[in-house]
Structure 1
Amino acid sequence: MRAPLRSPPGPGAGGHHVLFVLAECLPFAIALVVLVVELTPAHALYTGPLLVATPALAAVTLGPRGTLAAAGLAVCVSVVTATYNHAWGGRQVYTNLLALLLVSAAGVMTSRAVRTRRENELAQVRRIAEAAQEVLLRPVPARLGPVRAASMYLAAEKGAQIGGDLYDAVQTRYGIRLIVGDVRGKGLPAVRAAAVVLGAFRESVHYEDDLVEVVNHCGAALRRDAATASASLAGGDDALLEGFVTAVVAQIPDTLHVQIVNRGHPPPLLLRDGEARPLAPTVPLPPLGLEEFIGGPPGRTDSYPFAPGDRLLLHTDGVIEARDGHNAFFDLAGAMEALHDRTRQSFLEGLRGALLRHARGRLADDVAVVLVDRLD
């Protein structure tokens, strides 16, 4: 996904975080209030129910260990205040202490049950995400006719499996056809847009002989889906513009060339004799979904030499826009040249390591890479 175009956090995101932190602190705050009241002349107030509520509140947000800590604090406060006020002879002290112990035990067990349920739900969500990834972002085949290929995907968000980046490689009667794209936006709408574009690509590559028409099919499918979503949400034109996708589509025919249609995407890099150079489009075109901004014909195919021994790298801007501590961008061409003599998998591992070192392990955007070597 394109980091500069990411939507800002929702207006309630910060407020929700503050409320959650307050909820975590509330049990300990209550214990502190009870301690202050019982150790001052205000101890005439009846604070027993407040102290009993401490482990119950902790069970909601703090987990088993946090609940146990809150319960232990409440017991300590109860013992200290009863000793300070010389209240051990009264029946109320023992009643409150017994109630506190019972509620604490129930709170710890409830918290464990809630955590187990949440872990099971999270595991199920991860399994679903992995299945979706296998459908949307399956690894490219290692052998595709006269080329060998490999792919890499890195999600910027911790724990995420898929996002708004997309890629695929398919062998057809017209040659090897590849796509790498980047959805504007994030979250489920971005995943949906990626699925729409990939679905259109995987269908049209087998019957459209013109690579431009393949790209046009992807754009048309994206516009139809965005229009449907806009109509259902009454979002209007603004919602339609939310769904654009930058993409580069390549075709490797039997001839020693690679044909490319670029729709607002970072140009692929061609590595030849240890030197990397970008395959920039002759005519810049807008992303998929914004075809109304194309003033003339619906695009053209650029052709570049792609000889045996050459290496082609298609990537999203999450690679080249990764920054280091000095706000400098990642030098992808330089990294390719430094790794030029490695095998495909070793090359991708080296690229991944160099990228993460440059970004200090914190990617600001998802990364998708497809590597293609021409053998014959």
Structure 2
Amino acid sequence: MQCVPYLIALAVLVIEFTPAHFIYTGPFLTAVPALAAVTLGPKGTTVAAVLALAISVATATYNGAWGTLQVYSNFLALILVSVAGFITSRAMQERRQEELERVRRIAVAAQEVVLRPVPARLGPLRVGSLCLAAGTGARVGGDLYEAVQTRYGVRMIVGDVRGKGLSAVRAVAVALGAFREAVHYEEDLVEVMNRCSDALRREVAVPGAYGQEVLLEGFTTALIAQVPDESVVQLVNRGHPPPLLLHQGRATPLMPSQPSPPLGLEDLIAGLPEKPESHAFIAGDRLLLYTDGVIEARNRDGEFFALPEAMEGLGVSPTPPEFLEQLHQALIRHTSGDLADDVAMILADRLNGLPESPSGGADAG
């Protein structure tokens, strides 16, 4: 549809500069800015109107039609339609922008209901979280995170649902609901992950509006971490980017010894891990859990964001919220403000001293 105004202008040129110029082309040129107002926006309407006027001047000069009433009436009609088209196009653009902002606000509010900020202090950890929406209109993403203090230690999850939109939000809600329930009753961390997987399998298809079905996305990558009283972190990784551990100024990815498929793709592999993997996590260390939107962020040269180097450069001196905000600014600079994918992160600092009891209040310390 966007090329129709230019095709009409081209047809007028062919008619006027060939033996077919006996055909009256005035109404055709008038349609050029009118159609552009519907399909091309204010800038495109202006370009189409200038092109139509230029063609009108050229054809009038070529055919020696200057001084006739027909030429002047054509010019007047073309100018009036161009002005009206520009005003209409501008109004349509503003209305679409208002609708997009309204939908975006609703989408953000819905996402904030599902993804709540984590407490500033959980047991032996000082924690911060961050969720950034990609610059792709009002489509809600499928990133998820949560951190909960339990009798087994602090348990955290980050995940990424394949796709965007309503089905992704529903999958996020299902996975987080299962996690928030299971972490308090399942001692086995692998079983907590299995509970999330089972919940997603039960909700493969859920009723949508007007009786239609809204399919949940095909798979979800997820990482669950547990920080007990001992100086370790236990991980269960199902196809998710490995967390980074900052120890003595060096950021190291905690790679799983056995790759595992995302949730929803368990049938593709036999022999899933039966127990979590443990890594040293001592006082003064910093642990970063994140989604792939961070490491897959590209600059204009197509280079990926160097997360380990950025983490090492920031060090452990900023508090978790300050660190995440500085990391956010680094991402914005790297991508020139154009994030292609959503981003979710949890940062946990291991502190000295005794952990809080599970029933204790959060300490902003």
Aligned to 1:201: 179
Distance 2:267 2:349 in 1: 36
Matches within 5 A, 1:250-329: 250-281=225-256, 283-292=258-267, 295=270, 299-321=274-296
Q: Residue 367 of structure 1 corresponds to which residue in structure 2? A: 343
Contact 2:141 2:163 in 1 (8 A): no
Measure the CA separation in 2 of the matches of 1:374 and 1:177.
14
* Distance of 2:67 and 2:336 partners within structure 1: 62
Residue type of the alignment partner of 2:182: S
CA distance in 1, matches of 2:304, 2:117: 27
Alignment partner, residue 3 of structure 1: none
User: Which residue number corresponds to residue 134 of structure 1?
Assistant: 112
Distance 1:264 1:119 in 2: 38
Q: Percent identity?
A: 64
**Unaligned runs of at least 5 residues, structure 2:** 354-365
Over 3 Å counting, the alpha-carbon distance change for 1:140 and 1:160 in structure 2 is farther
Aligned letter for 2:233?
A: V
Aligned to 1:112: 90
Moved more, 354-363 or 260-269: 354-363
Does the CA contact (< 8 Å) of 1:163 and 1:366 recur in 2?
yes
Give the stretch that moved more between structures: 294-303 or 247-256: 294-303
| Cα contact 1:133–1:161 (8 A) shared by 2 | no
- Of 311-320 and 157-166, more deviation after overlay is shown by 157-166
- CA contact under 8 A between 1:276 and 1:336: conserved in structure 2? yes
Q: Distance in 2 between matches of 1:86 and 1:331?
A: 66
Confirm or deny: 8 A CA contact 1:148 1:373 kept in the other structure. Answer: yes
Deviates most, 168-177 or 277-286: 277-286
Task: Look up the match of 1:56.
Answer: 34
- Indicate conservation of the 8 Å contact 1:313/1:369, yes or no: yes
1:341 equivalent in structure 2: 316
Greater share of helix:
1
How far the C-alpha of 1:154 sits from its partner, in A, is 4.3
**In the alignment, is the contact (CA less than 8 A) between 2:60 and 2:66 conserved in 1?**
yes
Q: TM-score, normalised by structure 1?
A: 0.76
CA distance in 1, matches of 2:332, 2:94: 33
Q: What corresponds to 2:198 in structure 1?
A: 220
Paired amino acid for 1:58: A
CA separation of 1:152 and 1:94: change in aligned 2, threshold 3 A: same
- Is the CA contact 2:132–2:343 (under 8 Å) kept in the aligned structure 1? yes
Distance 2:69 2:298 in 1: 66
Q: Which moved more, 1:264-273 or 1:286-295?
A: 286-295
Residue 12 (structure 2) aligned to one of 34, 39, 49: 34
Q: Which TM-score applies when normalising by structure 2? A: 0.78
**Residue identity in the other structure for 1:314:** L
Aligned to 2:147: 169
Q: Contact 1:130/1:161 (CA < 8 Å) preserved in 2? A: no
- The equivalent position to 1:121 in structure 2, one of 99, 103, 106, is 99
Give CA deviations for 1:301-356 in whole Å, capped at 9, x if unaligned: 33444332221111223444556789776554443333223312343344445556
- Is the Cα–Cα contact under 8 Å of residues 193 and 243 in structure 1 kept in the other structure? no
Cα displacement (A) at 1:121? 1.2
**In structure 1, what residue type is equivalent to 2:141?**
G
**Superimposed CA distance per residue, residues 133-156 of structure 1 (whole angstroms, 9 cap, x where no aligned partner):** 312334333222332112234455
Q: Deviations over 1:42-68 (max 9, x none)?
A: 321211121121111111112234324
Q: Secondary structure at the match of 2:37?
A: helix
Give distance in 2, aligned partners of 1:112 and 1:320: 39
Residues 128-181 of structure 1: CA deviation (Å, up to 9, x unaligned): 221133123343332223321122344555446742322122234443221011
8 Å Cα contact 2:140/2:164 also seen in 1:
no
Aligned partner of 2:362 in structure 1 is: none
Alpha-carbon distance in structure 2 between the residues aligned to 1:304 and 1:48: 78
**Which amino acid letter does the alignment assign opposite residue 224 of structure 2?**
V
**How much does 1:36 deviate?**
4.9
Q: Which residue of 2 aligns with 1:243?
A: 218
Aligned length: 348
Secondary structure at 2:93's aligned position in 1?
helix
Quote the residue 1:6 is aligned against. none
Which has the larger displacement, 320-329 or 50-59? 320-329
Amino acid at match of 2:242: P
Deviation at 1:184, TM superposition (A): 3.4
Distance 2:337 2:99 in 1: 28
- How far 1:371 moved relative to its partner? 0.6
CA contact (8 A) 2:205 2:213 kept: no
Cα drift, residue 219 of structure 1: 0.4
